[in-house]
């Protein structure tokens, strides 16, 4: 390994161990690992190809850094650490040279990453297909409390973890011109089992990137117009689609990677010489939400146009190939496309969608289902293509991602479809990989677990954590456990001080809410509760409280104006509280910049309290709640998403549940009036009024007034206080008081934390992926 690293340093940089900088050393070690695994990777792919394989189509893969995780899974960390020690180099310094891959945004993409890692560890032949974004979502900074988006240039330095495959490039056809799709392959390494799967990401490039004649005529912009048009597809994740041009670019992105991926699979299949009816017996394709659902008509198009297969036969092949994961019940998130976009960009694909829509109508017009219901379920209606409906009809499996979420799909959101195809609906509760989120992110706690259990088999069999329950009353173990928590809090506090210039007291209770910024996740409710506590202290300066540090981490989509307003509001609250000597040492608020996977690896192990406070029935599952739990953190939250199953596993007495349940909110049936709550609760009114009374400045943008209006009057697309912040406020405040009371009992609190850890076994993505493999894909583990 040393010789290999040295060779790469010399050949790539003309340096050696003593003269190379940290970035060059990181690159050389990473490339050496790629060389080391090459044979195992090739052998794994060959073995996988002998049987049925599954493919995960996803617009996002939030992978995080690769070096540390890959060394962990290979078992090479001690060797590399010892090698670097000879040169007084810390491996962590090199890990920090790696940028987080800009391939995802939130839970959807992180779930995809966990699934790929778990599949490799379980020796399941599952591979990923997606887009190689140049700038990802964006890099977040704050300017006077406002979110500012700047390019996340994660490919600024040579990227060592992927291999460009020009010999397997494909052509993608759009009505406005063809584009090349170049595959980049990244290895997904299983935990110490020699199984290596592949994440294949497509990069868009022009067929003719440079027009020499135009350049010679001094039309310089025109000379590179095709290059710019093609490369725009892979520039950023989720481009702002507030205008039609943005919507077209998003549709192009989706079709680009789906068409390339299906062409790739078809190319491999044709080489086998099998009958087309065998296609679903060799390949299973999971559609991760609606972004890749254009795969259904695209496969039919390929079969019809390129291989002259009749529509009915092609549709049956597609239906047996595809399975669909639904990640939301929010109507605005159930993706729809105006037919004009399909007609202008993908006219042939639109013709196929029309055929699918007509077939659906013909298939069920003679059924007992009322004609009005059938009409409401049409794939094309009101000049829109309903992608979720296309996914359900064009696949053989539809799954939710938590028990409650799946029940809501069946009973409310997709009730008509469930009644039509009850056998297709199933639940697959999400999970996370314990290798990254415990073994790698929290090595001290991992060592304590191994010591208590007597072996490391929990790393691949997380249900064995249940054996920790017998230590729940062992004060020595609990004391060591909480000392580790304190150590992780210190690590986080040091990082924030060094990188963001903010000093946090690690002896305070770390109350953390980190997730994508969306109204239903109710970061605003958290902000209101913080203000409530602040005002209580102003009125009673001598009041004794448990010192708290409230930490937020989230990005708002560039076009999500209201979410940006919430970030500004929280930062205004932070500025007011953190500068007030009356509450100094008792409350502090900090919004971390550019929350991502690597930041999460510091935040999850350091949390004392996990904020999971979404409106009941709105969060499909959540996986951040699982990462907190796995690191021994109680949840304060509603009975929503996977919170329900967390409480079932760890006990409601070891968590802090508040708020209206789904049934209660349904029973309100539109009768809820937030103004009544506002007017009859002076403390709540005072807090809400800070949005409009000048307490905090939104810089003249009107953001705060718009937030106030959304709560009091609603908008054309939603009712007042659509996510029931005011309705749940009092109960949330009471739950936070119970947290403080519990925290003042150190042993009792430690016991709650320990029992959450001990009962986290269900939430491994290993369990989830094995259920997908058996119930949906029918793939088998490979003998390694």
Q: What is the DSSP letter of 413?
A: I
d(C-alpha 215, C-alpha 218), whole Å: 5
The two structure tokens encoding residue 217:
């005529």
Asked whether the beta carbons of 551 and 603 are under 8 A apart, the reply is yes
634: phi then psi, degrees, rounded to nearest 5:
-70, 155
What is the CA 488 to chain-centroid distance, rounded?
Answer: 24
503: phi then psi, degrees, rounded to nearest 5:
-95, 125
Q: Among 3, 66, 72, 77, which residue's Cα sits nearest to residue 30?
A: 66
Q: Among 619, 609, 644, 638, which residue's Cα sits nearest to residue 729?
A: 638
Give residues with Cβ within 8 angstroms of 13, minimum separation 6. Answer: 20, 24, 28
Give residues with Cβ within 8 angstroms of 648, minimum separation 6. Answer: none
d(C-alpha 632, C-alpha 606), whole Å: 10
143: phi then psi, degrees, rounded to nearest 5:
-130, 110
Q: Among 753, 305, 220, which residue's Cα sits nearest to residue 486?
A: 753
Q: Left, alpha or beta for 273 (phi > 0: left; psi -120 to 50: alpha)?
A: left
Asked whether the beta carbons of 754 and 445 are under 8 A apart, the reply is no
- Using CA of residue 59, residue 62, residue 67, residue 71, what is the dihedral sign? negative
> Catalytic positions, please?
327, 515-516, 521, 623, 627
* Placement of tokens 């390019």 in the chain: 151
Q: What is the CA radius of gyration of the chain?
A: 27
d(C-alpha 8, C-alpha 758), whole Å: 44
d(C-alpha 621, C-alpha 623), whole Å: 7
* Placement of tokens 């910049």 in the chain: 593
- Element holding 39 (H helix, E strand): helix 22-48
* Placement of tokens 């309100």 in the chain: 668
Angle subtended at Cα 348 by Cα 343 and Cα 354, rounded to the nearest 5 degrees: 75
Q: What is the DSSP letter of 715?
A: B
The two structure tokens encoding residue 410:
């069946």
Q: Left, alpha or beta for 308 (phi > 0: left; psi -120 to 50: alpha)?
A: left
């Amino acid at each position: 390994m040393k010789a290999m690293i040295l060779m790469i340093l010399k050949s790539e940089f003309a340096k050696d161990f003593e003269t190379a900088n940290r970035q060059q050393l990181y690159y050389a070690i990473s490339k050496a690992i790629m060389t080391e695994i090459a044979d195992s990777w090739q052998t794994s792919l060959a073995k996988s190809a002998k049987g049925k394989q599954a493919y995960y189509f996803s617009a996002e893969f939030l992978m995080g850094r690769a070096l540390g995780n890959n060394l962990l899974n290979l078992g090479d960390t001690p060797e590399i650490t010892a090698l670097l020690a000879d040169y007084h180099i810390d491996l962590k310094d090199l890990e920090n040279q790696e940028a987080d891959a800009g391939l995802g945004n939130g839970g959807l993409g992180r779930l995809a990453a966990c699934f790929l890692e778990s599949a490799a560890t379980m020796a399941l032949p599952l591979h990923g297909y997606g887009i190689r974004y140049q700038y990802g979502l964006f890099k977040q900074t704050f300017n006077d409390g406002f979110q500012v988006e700047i390019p996340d240039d994660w490919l600024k330095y040579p990227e060592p973890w992927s291999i460009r495959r020009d010999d397997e490039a494909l052509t993608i056809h759009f009505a406005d011109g063809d584009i090349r799709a170049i595959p980049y392959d990244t290895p997904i390494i299983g935990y110490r089992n020699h199984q290596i799967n592949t994440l294949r990401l497509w990069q868009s490039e022009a067929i003719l990137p440079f027009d020499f004649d135009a350049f010679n005529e001094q039309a310089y912009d025109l000379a590179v117009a095709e290059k710019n048009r093609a490369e725009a597809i892979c520039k950023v994740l989720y481009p702002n689609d507030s205008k039609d041009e943005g919507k077209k670019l998003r549709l192009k992105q989706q079709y680009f990677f789906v068409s390339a991926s299906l062409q790739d699979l078809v190319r491999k299949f044709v080489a086998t010489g099998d009958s087309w009816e065998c296609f679903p017996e060799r390949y299973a394709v999971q559609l991760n939400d609606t972004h890749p659902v254009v795969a259904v008509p695209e496969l039919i198009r390929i079969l019809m146009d390129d291989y002259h297969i009749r529509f009915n036969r092609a549709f049956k092949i597609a239906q047996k190939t595809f399975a669909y994961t639904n990640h939301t019940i929010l109507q605005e998130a159930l993706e729809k496309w105006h037919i004009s976009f399909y007609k202008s960009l993908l006219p042939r694909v639109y013709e196929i969608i029309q055929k699918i829509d007509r077939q659906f109508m013909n298939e069920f017009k003679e059924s007992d289902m009322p004609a009005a219901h059938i009409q409401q379920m049409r794939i094309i209606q009101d000049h829109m293509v309903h992608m979720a409906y296309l996914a359900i009809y064009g696949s053989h499996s539809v799954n939710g991602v938590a028990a409650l979420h799946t029940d809501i799909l069946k009973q409310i959101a997709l009730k008509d479809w469930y009644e039509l195809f009850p056998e297709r609906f199933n639940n697959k509760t999400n999970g996370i990989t314990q290798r990254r989120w415990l073994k790698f992110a929290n090595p001290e706690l991992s060592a304590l677990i191994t010591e208590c259990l007597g072996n490391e088999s929990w790393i691949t069999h997380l249900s064995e954590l249940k054996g920790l329950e017998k230590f729940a009353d062992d004060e020595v173990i609990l004391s060591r456990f909480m000392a580790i928590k304190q150590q992780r809090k210190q690590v986080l506090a040091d990082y924030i001080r060094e990188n963001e210039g903010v000093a946090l007291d690690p002896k305070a209770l770390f109350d953390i809410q980190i997730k994508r910024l969306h109204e239903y996740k109710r970061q605003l409710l958290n902000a209101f509760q913080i203000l409530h506590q602040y005002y209580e202290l102003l009125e009673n300066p001598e009041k004794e409280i448990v010192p708290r540090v409230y930490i937020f981490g989230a990005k708002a989509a560039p076009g999500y104006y209201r979410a940006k307003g919430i970030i500004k509001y929280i930062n205004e609250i932070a500025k007011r509280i953190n500068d007030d000597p009356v509450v100094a040492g008792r409350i502090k608020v900090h919004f971390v910049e550019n929350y991502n996977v690597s930041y999460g690896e510091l935040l999850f192990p350091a949390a004392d309290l996990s904020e999971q406070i979404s409106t009941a029935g709105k969060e499909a599952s959540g996986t951040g709640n699982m990462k907190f739990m796995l690191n021994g953190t109680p949840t304060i939250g509603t009975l929503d998403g996977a919170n329900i199953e967390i409480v079932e596993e760890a006990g409601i007495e070891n968590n802090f549940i508040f708020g209206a349940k789904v049934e209660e909110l349904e029973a309100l049936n539109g009768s809820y009036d937030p103004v009544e709550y506002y007017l009859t609760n002076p403390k709540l009114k005072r807090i809400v009024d800070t949005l409009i009374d000048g307490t905090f400045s939104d810089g003249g943008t009107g953001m705060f007034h718009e937030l106030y209006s959304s709560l009091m009057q609603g908008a054309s697309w939603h009712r007042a206080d659509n996510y029931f912040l005011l309705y749940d406020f009092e109960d949330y405040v009471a739950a936070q008081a119970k947290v403080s009371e519990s925290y003042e009992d150190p042993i009792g609190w430690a016991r709650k934390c320990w029992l959450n850890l001990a009962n986290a076994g269900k939430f491994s993505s290993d369990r989830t992926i094995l259920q997908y493999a058996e119930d949906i894909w029918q793939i088998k583990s490979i003998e390694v």
